Structure 1
Amino acid sequence: MTDVVGPYELAQLIGRGGMGEVWLAHDSRNDREVAIKLLARQALTDPELAERFRRECKLAGQIRHSHILPVWDYSVDGRPYIVMPYIEDGTDLATILKKGPIEPERAVNIVRQVASALDAAHRKGLRHRDVKPSNVMVEPDGDDEQVLLFDWGIAQPIDTSGAPPVTRLDQLVGTPAYIAPERLGDRITPDHRADVYSLAVVLYECLAGGKPFDGEDMAILTAQVLRDPPPLPDHLPAALRDVVAKGLAKDPEKRWQTAGEMAAAARAALARSVTPPAGVPQPVRTPPPTPPVNTPAAPVVAVPANGPRIAATGFGGAAVAFALFLTGVVDAGAFWLLLPLLAAGGALVGFGLWGPRRAAVRPGDPTLDPGGFPKPGP
């Protein structure tokens, strides 16, 4: 017996995720194949959530853009669902990235198209809130690729009223590895620039083959607020690495202000890094002169600094403050007072345990080399 949801006959399971399942289905009203996303039944038990879902799906369905997979239909009755066109020969970006990083030119081309879609949505007053590779569809288009951004079911209208955002871990909407830092506190009201941060994470992942922060959800969320991402590989153009770093700025004011602005900067960075054509003389690099051979001085055994261990204890103190905030033990006001205190306290503990740095040891120095002390007399 064929499963039926509204006028849609479910044919084949395409994928399953945290928000529900995606099926290939037949639309009996319009005699066409569609992709239908079935949300978990408990997803919209809250009447306020159900109303927001209805409002946002309606708004998403009104956006017409070449890089947005449109919402054709939706429902909150019974089991909620969203209906979209079925892209037969498309592959989501997450599947592509399972094979590793992609060429910078391809990465920038994909991000450029997603940025165009986001800017169109932002102009309509809608932000996506879950920009990630699995929500980016890539399909062949001749010698190029057509990119579509989809899954607008959890999108949220941009709020300029100053209302506080969600701050509890179990209320966060989105995927931790792509959530902008300002969405985790109440000092700044998130706006469209949170999507710009998420898109910068996608670009980072395309270039590096991995996300800036990974692991357990709590560790990722803590890192989004407190840590800088690891640098991109050195073989990438420095200007392109700078573009990604600005997109991942913790402060929205220091970030690219629109997705299109970031994409344009990435394209310009690639253009500046193109190898000059054949026939253009290249500078000749002469090797540095060989230093004269001298009698080596007495060896010095350098002892590593204790800075990393001190920083680790400071980070541990900050993580404790962050955990207290997310679990509701302290409110936002107390969190911002507690965060520097615990971070500084942790660093002081590390400093007290290890000190800043041991002095270098020179063999034969009777004050530092244990083997250099004179033996006791008879």
Structure 2
Amino acid sequence: MEAIIKNRFRIVKLLGQGGMGDVFLAEDSKHGRQVAIKRIGADFIHDMDAESHFRHGALAASRLNHPNVCTIYEIVEENDSAFIIMQYVDGVTLDQLLKIKSLTLEQVIDIALQIAAGLEAAQDRSIVHRDIKPGNIMIDCSSQVKILDFGLAKICPGAIAKENKVCADPELSDQGIIMGTASYMSPEQVKGLHTDGRTDIFSYGVVLYEMIESKNPFSARENIVTLYNILHSKVGFSRDVPKLLRAIVTKAMRKNRKYRYKDFSEIIKDLLALQKQLAQAANRPL
């Protein structure tokens, strides 16, 4: 990796590797700030489809301006490589946090509301993320949630990415290629069908379940078993949580998408109702 990009961005260290790109911490000399820089992985540099998706993800995220979405500043090119310059979030991923401790009910609801708010903004911009998982959710030192990595995102031209607004991906879906991270895929992703906003709602439900139970409801050692579980396994709870929270998770993870929430505004409404219930119970005199 070049020490300096575009005579402006000085690479400090590697932050992480995964998906299609490597992410580096860098100093931006022009604006005097730290930034995160994502470069397409070495294995994909000469892969035109991967390069296209890399740019597509950046374009999708750059359309969003929301406190719960990681900000994309710009895309630069150097030596036949593309680099996404984005906001540096000092914190931990939800995946890392869940490995450290179990979350309180209040923390679960707070994080769930912030994720839903960011994804509601994406839906309103006709964007389906398609890879919602704890590893793509960052929590900074002030407990603010940031949704990362729109590398598999799809824009639905002229339509809101909500119920019945199908996002076709002719370059990939027609080839039968499964997109996403196995244990967080929706049934329609597993089947190789076209996706819409309810795809993100299913994955969100899986993340919410994992925050409650500290485990993924479908994950197995073999991917084929994981995919089978997504299509056929029923989800149960071992932790004592409010009935409404269970109902939210269950509805988000309906196998048939027409029975899921139609959009994230509905989820936010139910989460706020749950939050109000808990506050009233806490303030109730003994």
TM range (shorter): 0.7 to 0.9
- 1:345 is aligned to none
1:189 & 1:222 partners in 2: Cα distance?
19
Quote the residue 2:173 is aligned against: 166
Q: Indicate how the Cα distance of structure 1 residues 134 and 211 shifts in structure 2: closer, same or farther if over 3 A, else same.
A: same
Answering whether residue 268 of structure 2 is matched by residue 268 of structure 1, we say no
Question: Is the Cα contact below 8 Å between 2:167 and 2:195 reproduced in 1?
Answer: no
- For 1:154, the equivalent position in structure 2 comes to 152
Q: Check whether the contact 2:95–2:135 (CA below 8 A) recurs between aligned residues.
A: yes
Relative distance call for 1:154 and 1:81 in structure 2 (3 A) is: farther
Q: Write the mapping of 1:160-199 to structure 2, written as runs, cut at 5 A.
A: 160=166, 166=173, 171-186=177-192, 189-199=194-204
- Structure with bigger strand share is 2
Give the direction of change, closer, same or farther, for the CA distance of 1:266–1:44 in structure 2 (3 Å limit): farther
After superposition, the Cα gap between the structure-2 partners of 1:167 and 1:209, relative to the gap in structure 1 and judged at 3 Å, is farther
Decide which of 82, 86, 89 is 2:88's aligned counterpart: 86
CA 1:234–1:102: 2 relative to 1, 3 Å: closer
8 Å contact from structure 2 (residues 186, 203) kept in 1: yes
Q: Which amino acid aligns with 1:263?
A: I
Report the 3-state secondary structure (helix = DSSP H, G, I; strand = E; otherwise coil) of the residue aligned with 2:115.
helix
Letter in 2 for 1:247: A
Residue 246, structure 1, aligned to residue 273, structure 2: no
Identity within the alignment, %: 28
Take 1:239 and 1:206, find their aligned partners in 2: how far apart are those partners?
15
TM-score relative to the length of structure 2:
0.84
Task: Give, in angstroms, the shift of residue 261 of structure 1.
Answer: 1.5
Any idea what the Cα deviations from partners look like across 1:266-322, whole Å, max 9, x if unmatched? Answer: 332354356464644xxxxxxxxxxxxxxxxxxxxxxxxxxxxxxxxxxxxxxxxxx
- 1:136/1:49 Cα in 2 relative to 1: closer, same or farther (>3 Å)? same
Residues 95-147 of structure 1, C-alpha deviation per residue, up to 9 Å, x if partnerless?
A: 11002431121111111111111111111111111111121121243xxx211
Contact map agreement 2:20 2:151 (CA 8 A) in 1 = no
- Give the drift of 1:256: 1.0
1:86 partner letter: Y
Unpaired stretches in structure 1, ≥5 consecutive residues? 281-378
Which structure has more relative contact order (CA 8 Å, sep 6+)? It is 2
3-state DSSP class of the match of 1:21? Answer: strand
Once the two structures are TM-superposed, the CA of residue 45 in structure 1 deviates from its matched residue by 3.7
- DSSP 3-state at the match of 2:272: helix
**1:129 counterpart residue number:** 130
Query: Separation in 1 of the partners of 2:186 and 2:206?
Result: 9
- Determine the C-alpha separation between the residues in 2 that align with 1:258 and 1:176: 22
Pairing 1:226–2:232 present: yes
Please list every run of 5 or more consecutive structure 2 residues that lacks an aligned counterpart in the other structure.
157-164
1:169-226 Cα deviation digits (max 9, x unpaired) = 8x3332111111111225x531011011111111111110111111222211121112
Inter-CA distance 42–74: structure 2 relative to 1 (3 Å threshold): farther
Aligned equivalents of 1:148, 1:134: Cα separation in 2: 11
1:143-180: CA deviation from partner (whole Å, max 9, x where unpaired): xx2111121232111373766763878x3332111111
Q: CA deviation at 1:258?
A: 1.1
Q: Is the contact made by 2:56 and 2:151 (CA closer than 8 Å) also made in structure 1?
A: no
Counterpart of 1:177 in 2: which secondary structure?
helix
Note closer, same or farther for the CA distance 1:238–1:47 as it changes in structure 2 (3 Å cut).
Answer: same
The 5 A counterparts of 1:47-66 are 47-66=48-67
